[in-house]
Chains A and B, each alone.
Chain A
Amino acid sequence: MRQLPKLCRSLLWGPAVALALGACSQQATSVVTAPASPAAPMAAAPAPAGPAFEIPVEYYTLPNGLRVVLSPDHTAPTATVAAYYAVGFRTEPRDRTGFAHLFEHLMFQGSQNLGKAEFIQLIQKNGGALNGSTRFDFTNYFEVVPSNKLETILWAEADRMRGLAISQSNLTNQQGVVKSEVRVNVLNQPYGGFPWLDMPQKANKN
C-alpha cells in the first residue's frame, strides 16, 4: 500500500466507536436535498450587507512558531482542542509509506508524564471524547471535554507535543495494529481502497 491513512471506519481503540463515527461525519459533502429551484426567478440573490454571523477568531503565534487560534463559543459548556501538524501521507516517499499513520498511533502510546493509554483515559474518564487521523496534508489530534477540564487537556496535549515515550514494544505493537487496520479495512473489503486510495495514485503523475 502506498498510503495508509487512518480510515474513518477504523478505530484506534475499542471504546471510541461513537467518536470514530463522529470523525467521519465531519465531511462537508452535502447530503441535503435542496428544495426545487423556485420557478420565480429571484433576481440574483444579493449578498447580505454583512455576514449573518461571525465566528470569533483570535490568532497569534508563539515565539517557538506554534500557531494558536482561539474561538470562544459559549453555547455549551464544552471545549474542543485541535492540534494539527503539517505532516500527512502525501509527502511520504513511495517506498516508505504508512509512516505518518504509524506515528499518529504512537501519539497515543505515552509521553513524558502520561503512561500508555493514560491520555485516552484522562479524556474519557472526564467525560470527553477524542480521536486522531492522518490525512493528505496533516495529522490531527482533537479532544472535546467539559470546559472545566480545558486546562488539563491543554497540558496533556503539550506533554505529547514535547516528546513521546517511544519504546520498541509500543512500536512493534502499533505496527501490528496499523497492519491490521489495512487488512480489515482495505485488503479484505470489497471495493477496499476504491476509489480513495486507487485514484490519487493513478491520476497523479508527480
Chain B
Amino acid sequence: MAVVGDFEPAEAKAWVEKYYGNIPSATPPPKPDLTEPRQEQEQRFSKDDKLASKPALAFAYHMPERNTPEYYALIMLDQILLQGNDSRLYQALVQKRGYSDGVSGGINSDLGNQFNYNGPMLWMGSIIYDPSVQADSVVSVLDQEISRLAKTGIDQATLDLAMVKIRSAFYDQLSGSDNFGRADLLAAFALFDNDPARINRIEGEFRKVTPELMQKTIREYLRPGNRTIITVNPLAKS
C-alpha cells in the first residue's frame, strides 16, 4: 500500500497501524511457473474482424527479463523506434510512406507501463493501415528500420535523445496532479521488488546503457525469430 501526498508520516503511520495492524495475515498461494521458452521461429496469425474496415497489423517481440541491463536497453529502443513523432517507425510508416496516420504500442502500454508488471512481457506495436498496402510491406519497413539500427549502430546522440524522452515521460508520470503515477510505481516496486526506493534509481539505470549493449540487445531480442505477427482481416462493408 502506498500513501502519497500531504500528510505527516508519524500521523499516517499511526493510522495505518490502527486500521491495518490487526488484519489477519494469509498465506499467498504458490506462484505458478510462467517462464517463457526462447522463441526460435517467427509466428504469424490472422484474425477476421467483422466490424473493421481497414487492415491492421501488430508485431510483438519477447522482452528481456525485467530489471536486467538488456531490459533498460530495450526500453530505450522502444523510444527510438516507436515512441513519439520523431521515432523511426513513425517517420518510416507515416511520414515517409503514408501507410497510416499513426503507429502505436510500447511495453505493457495497454495495461500499464514498462515498469509495473512482473513476468514475461512483450514489446509490441500496431498499425491500422490503408487497404492498398500489403501486410508484407509493413513488415518489411519494420525489418528495414531494425536492421538499419543493427548495421549502423546507435551513437551517443541517439541514446541521449532517447534519454530525454524517457526522462520526460518518467517525470510526467511522477508529477501528475493526482499523484497516482507516483503511488503506482511505489506500490508496484514494493510488491514486485520489495524495494520502492528504486524509484529514485531508475534514471541511473538508463544512463548505464551503452551503444554496445544496445547492439547486443537488438541482436538477441529484435530478431525475426523472436517475434509474433497478427494481422486483422477487415470484413466490414464500408
Contacts and interface: CB of A to CB of B under 8 A. Distances in A.
Interface of A: 5, 8, 22-23, 25-38, 41-45, 47, 51, 54-55, 57-59, 62-84, 86, 90-91, 129, 135-138, 140, 142, 144, 147, 150-151, 154-155, 157-158, 161-162, 188-192, 194-196, 198-200, 202-206
Interface of B: 1-9, 12-13, 15-17, 19-25, 28, 31-37, 39, 43, 45, 47, 49, 51-53, 56, 58, 60, 62, 79, 83-86, 105-106, 108-120, 122, 124, 126, 128, 156-158, 160-161, 163-166, 168-170, 173-174, 176-184, 186-188, 190-192, 194-197, 199-200, 203-204, 207, 228, 230, 232, 236
Given A37-B160, A137-B118, 15 more contacts: A36-B86, A59-B195, A59-B196, A67-B1, A69-B1, A69-B196, A71-B183, A81-B2, A81-B3, A82-B187, A84-B1, A129-B178, A138-B187, A191-B51, A203-B122
A84 B191 contact: yes
Contacts of A129: 178
Given A37-B160, A82-B187, A142-B180, A72 B6 contact: yes
Interface centre among B166, B184, B195, B204 (most CB of A within 10 A): B184
B196 A202 contact: no
Contacts of A78: 5-6, 178-179
A149 to B, nearest CB: 11
Q: Is the interface of B mostly helix, strand, loop or mixed?
A: mixed
B232 A57 contact: no
A74 B9 CA distance: 12
B59 to A, nearest CB: 9
Contacts of B232: 191, 194
Given A22-B180, A80-B183, A67 B32 contact: no
A198 B229 CA distance: 11
Q: Which 3 A-B pairs have the closest CB atoms?
A: A28-B113, A195-B58, A196-B110
Contact of A33 (B84, B113, B196): B84
A158 B230 contact: no
Nearest to A28: B113
27 contacts: A32-B83, A36-B86, A41-B156, A51-B203, A54-B200, A57-B199, A57-B200, A65-B25, A68-B13, A70-B2, A70-B9, A70-B12, A70-B13, A71-B182, A71-B186, A73-B5, A80-B5, A81-B3, A90-B34, A91-B32, A91-B34, A194-B49, A194-B56, A194-B126, A203-B62, A203-B228, A206-B35
Given A59-B190, A82-B184, A29 B119 contact: no
